A and B are shown apart, each in its own frame.
Chain A
Amino acid sequence: SQQGEEDPQALSIQEGENATMNCSYKTSINNLQWYRQNSGRGLVHLILIRSNEREKHSGRLRVTLDTSKKSSSLLITASRAADTASYFCATYPAGKSTFGDGTTLTVKP
């Protein structure tokens, strides 16, 4: 089974709204990363949060990490049509990278 699992599988919002997606993982981690994938393309790294951090910001992105619940969330504020993509969390248990199935976000203009 996947180490990281995103929720929801799909999310559809209007431009300007906030989008929140969640990731749960199973084993202890040193860090957790979020990536974005535009349709038919490779993944692009968005942000990394370390296990001793609770929250991290980058532009319109806000990531939280709760190691006691083994979960993370990615918040995109003031969404734009260009944010339409799939979003993945990634962890590295035992030195191997493990990605979840992703959340597909659709932002309607």
Chain B
Amino acid sequence: DVKVTQSSRYLVKRTGEKVFLECVQDMDHENMFWYRQDPGLGLRLIYFSYDVKMKEKGDIPEGYSVSREKKERFSLILESASTNQTSMYLCASSLGETQYFGPGTRLLVL
């Protein structure tokens, strides 16, 4: 079975802090994705990556950056956390069309 893990289930940070969200997959998938999920807005794609050291902007990349130094790991970085980045963050990986999701990280920015 594909396993996608995220470094934290719950995270509380202060405004202005730099925040790292880590995602690791164990199935040698080429593609990895970061989404945020907010009530009434569904899942919105932040960034995705089709290969190591490669990244593409999704629909809402502002305020975020990503890093993919190794195939199995895709990191989401909030350069300076703000309260409007309080959300559920979901990581996913895929080889083809089906995405496999991690359990999510619920981030609260105070």
The CA of A98 and the CA of B44, in the complex, are separated in Å by 7
Which residues of B does A touch, CB under 8 Å? 4, 33, 35, 40-43, 45, 48, 58-59, 88, 90, 92, 97-104, 106
With contact pairs A42-B103, A42-B104 given, residues A98 and B40 touching in the complex (Cβ less than 8 Å):
no
Residues of A within 8 Å of B, CB-based: how many?
22
Q: Which residue of A lies closest to B31 (CB)?
A: A97
Render A21-50 as a binary contact track against B, CB cut-off 8 A, 1 for contact: 000000000110101000011111100100
The CA of A62 and the CA of B47, in the complex, are separated in Å by 32
Q: Are A41 and B103 in contact (CB under 8 A)?
A: yes
Q: Which residue of A lies closest to B59 (CB)?
A: A96
Q: Which residue of A lies closest to B106 (CB)?
A: A40
The CA of A45 and the CA of B45, in the complex, are separated in Å by 17
With contact pairs A41-B104, A43-B90, A96-B58 given, residues A33 and B97 touching in the complex (Cβ less than 8 Å):
yes
